[in-house]
Amino acid sequence: MFKKNLFFKRLLIILLLLTGKNAIAQFGPENTLDVNAIYVPQSKYTQKNGQVENTEKTQKRMELNYSFPISTKFDPATKKLEKWTGIVSGGYTEMSGKTNTQDVMPEKLLNTMLGVTYLRTMRNKWAMVSLLTAGVNTDLKGVDYHDFFISGGVLFIKTPRQGFSYGFGAFVVNALNAPIVLPGLMLHLETEGRFKFNIDIPTEVSIARDVTKKLELKLAVRFKNTSYDTENTVEPKRRYLNYTELPAGLETKFKSKHFDFVLGGGYMILRNYELREGGIKNLFTEGQINKLGGNFYVNAGIRLKFNKEGK
């Protein structure tokens, strides 16, 4: 019973991360390019099978995200809005080298995504968001159809007032190299004032304050979840790696008309690397969870603003 409850808790987190992330992009600034880097120094690495002990690994990651408008149509008579948005993102991670032949931790990980979303407003402050994404998530050892990840679906979102939205829907993803139908959930809440609260379930919970017009301080907790196809000789059947992390930190943002610069740091609370076998039958089985211990991290990023208003 405990294992089943644990599974559904994990599944809920994965569902939220798979479906909410791209839908929330509808609320973010368009025509902006975000480039971010994070570094986590040597942290204790624990492998579930016990074949790798008393070792440490460092982690470095670069990320790029770009959201841009494709087309927008607004009917003044019916006040209906139709909007197409494109999404391009990618990330490259490097881990310190393998300690021995039993070490299953990939040294390199690459994730890419190209997607499109379609938003259409409906009655009573409801909107429908459809999205389709495709990308290659791999350890760069060998790229084949297993490394190709596709997801698509529909969310119905209601916005009772400005700064508050929630939604539900359904998605199809090829997790574990098999088509799986999953429910989708999202929640967006932001406030204005001296302290600005922002809740984007499941990606971020934060509080920010403008020290000056060009300087912002933010305390944020973020969730990240990415699936990869990997290869290892220790347990070759376990090739689907699900990576989850939970960092909490303080960021300083320097704002200008055409770009923002972010410098921050904090504590990496959680980093799990779960290896699974492919196929729907293994969706309910327990995976091999390898962990990196908690440690401090530093991060930096820049946002280039290409929109005319410079917002």
Q: Using one digit for the tens of pLDDT, what is the confidence trace for 2-22?
A: 344 455 445 544 444 444 444
Tens-place pLDDT, residues 136-181: 999 998 888 889 998 888 989 999 988 899 888 888 877 666 777 7
What's the pTM value of the predicted model, to 2 decimals?
Answer: 0.86
- What is the spatial distance between Cα 249 and Cα 268, in angstroms, rounded to a whole number? 8
pLDDT tens by residue, 23-40? 544 455 788 899 999 999
Can you spell out the DSSP letters for 187-254?
EEEE--SSEEEEEEETTEEEEEEEEETTEEEEEEEE-EEEEEE---SSSTTEEEEEEEEEEEEEEEEE
User: 3-state class of 25 per DSSP?
Assistant: coil
Mean pLDDT in residue range 233-256: 91
How confident is the prediction for the chain on average, in pLDDT? 85
- DSSP assignment letter at 286: P
